[in-house]
Structure 1
Amino acid sequence: MRYRRSACALLAAMMAASGCASPPAAPEAAPPPAPGAERLFVPADFTPPTLVETAEFKLVPLGPDLVKVDYDAYMSSIEHLQTTFSRSTSWPHKAISDADAMADMESEQARFQSRKSFAYAVLTPDGKRERGSVYVSPSPVPPYDAMVRLWVTKADYDAGFDAELYQWVTRWVQADWPFRNVAYPGRAIDWATWDAMVAAGKAGD
């Protein structure tokens, strides 16, 4: 509980120092599980979406069947994604092999099936090209109970799709997912503030 208060206070202080208004009070975090019980990321009776279709794109879970379109998407935008998404040269990079790509897809599929996190490909309506990805995962920073990240290819970013997808995802998560308080690092929360909150959490562990 001490960490929850310090992280929120840190966020408010940093925004005040930058001249921004303090954010509205965050919804109360979900109560902790009973002693000895495993904390579930999503409720046992929640069914994660496996197909969401719009006029411009559709979302389906990442998995081995999508390894080629996923690989083609991120390999087309290496420098763009290193700057805007991973903030690292560790992913993506030119040396990613077919085996690496398949292992990643198998891992994402396993995590989806075990309900630990949910990764989606954002495909064109015909499913022939991946425009980006959306990741719904547990947040390392209380009181957020989920963290959502997303990326789009350089071509789609230049076409303005990044802002369009982000706005759509925030509405989708609010309407169709069971979370009380969702963090969008690098978007609703700037990276410097998010990194500081994560570091504060690690220091308080």
Structure 2
Amino acid sequence: MRWLPEDFVHPVLVPLPGGGHHLRPIREADTALDYPAVMGSRERLWAMFGPAWGWPAATMTYEADQADLLRHEKEIAAHQSFNYALFDAAETALLGCVYIDPPEKSGADGEICWWVVDELVGSEVEQALDALVPQWIATDWPFEQPRFLGRETSWPDWLALPAHPDA
């Protein structure tokens, strides 16, 4: 399935309004920051993503996370899917992620979801991310029918949708 135009260039740095935080494509080298962020928020993340993705498992190891990030890095390079990490300005903390994927379910041309670490739930940073993502997708991505999972479409509703014909 070709889900992005051949000449599409993905953004490499996306500042959050208010300064101090930005998004960039995740890399395997980010494991030391990603693993504690994910596992420190694992119960809430499992409630969000577990039924759909089986992630993050309670038994996920550092090495499994590293392999997952390497897979993401390769998928980003091949424009198969995208995982943007949310960082502080100095990239000393990974604070969440934004996933931009080809559609698995009918009715969309891209599926987008995101999360922040538990400590940022309800914060100005989360509010800035919540405001930024739909605007960023509309401005910088070539989707006509993006689906925002866990936002406009609940995860249970998404799971009940028919599969995308190309998925």
- TM-score normalised by length of structure 1: 0.72
User: 1:48 matched to which residue of 2?
Assistant: 10
SS of match in other structure, 1:139: coil
User: 1:181 matched to which residue of 2?
Assistant: 145
- Residues 1:194 and 2:158 are matched in the alignment: yes
SS of match in other structure, 1:141: coil
User: 1:24 matched to which residue of 2?
Assistant: none
| Ranges in structure 1 where 5+ consecutive residues have no aligned partner | 1-38
Residue 129 of structure 1, aligned match among 62, 77, 93: 93
More strand by share: 2
CA-CA distance at 1:189 after TM superposition: 1.2
**Paired residues of 1:123 and 1:132 also in contact (CA < 8 A):** yes
CA-CA distance at 1:152 after TM superposition: 0.9
Cα distance in 2, alignment partners of residues 131 and 102 from structure 1 = 17
CA-CA distance at 1:119 after TM superposition: 0.7
**Paired residues of 1:139 and 1:147 also in contact (CA < 8 A):** yes
CA-CA distance at 1:137 after TM superposition: 0.5
How many residues are matched?
164
Residue 35 of structure 2, aligned match among 42, 65, 71: 71
User: 2:48 matched to which residue of 1?
Assistant: 84
**Paired residues of 2:49 and 2:55 also in contact (CA < 8 A):** no
- Residues 1:99 and 2:78 are matched in the alignment: no
Cα distance in 2, alignment partners of residues 48 and 141 from structure 1 = 23
CA-CA distance at 1:166 after TM superposition: 2.0
- Over 3 Å counting, the alpha-carbon distance change for 1:89 and 1:133 in structure 2 is closer
Q: Which has the larger radius of gyration?
A: 1
- Over 3 Å counting, the alpha-carbon distance change for 1:166 and 1:86 in structure 2 is farther
**Paired residues of 1:56 and 1:124 also in contact (CA < 8 A):** yes
Matched letter for residue 134 of structure 2: T
**How big is each residue's C-alpha offset from its partner over 1:101-159, in whole Å with a ceiling of 9 and x where there is no partner?**
11011100110111100111110111110110001001122331000011111111143
Residue 150 of structure 1, aligned match among 102, 110, 114: 114
**How big is each residue's C-alpha offset from its partner over 1:37-82, in whole Å with a ceiling of 9 and x where there is no partner?**
xx32211111001111231411111111111111111111111111
Matched letter for residue 50 of structure 1: V
Matched letter for residue 153 of structure 1: V
Root-mean-square deviation (Å) = 2.2
User: 1:139 matched to which residue of 2?
Assistant: 103
**How big is each residue's C-alpha offset from its partner over 1:5-32, in whole Å with a ceiling of 9 and x where there is no partner?**
xxxxxxxxxxxxxxxxxxxxxxxxxxxx
Cα distance in 1, alignment partners of residues 105 and 65 from structure 2 = 29
Cα distance in 1, alignment partners of residues 146 and 31 from structure 2 = 28
**Paired residues of 2:37 and 2:95 also in contact (CA < 8 A):** yes
| Ranges in structure 2 where 5+ consecutive residues have no aligned partner | none
- Residues 1:59 and 2:23 are matched in the alignment: yes
CA-CA distance at 1:87 after TM superposition: 4.1
- Over 3 Å counting, the alpha-carbon distance change for 1:153 and 1:127 in structure 2 is same
Matched letter for residue 190 of structure 1: S
Larger deviation: 128-137 or 75-84?
Answer: 75-84
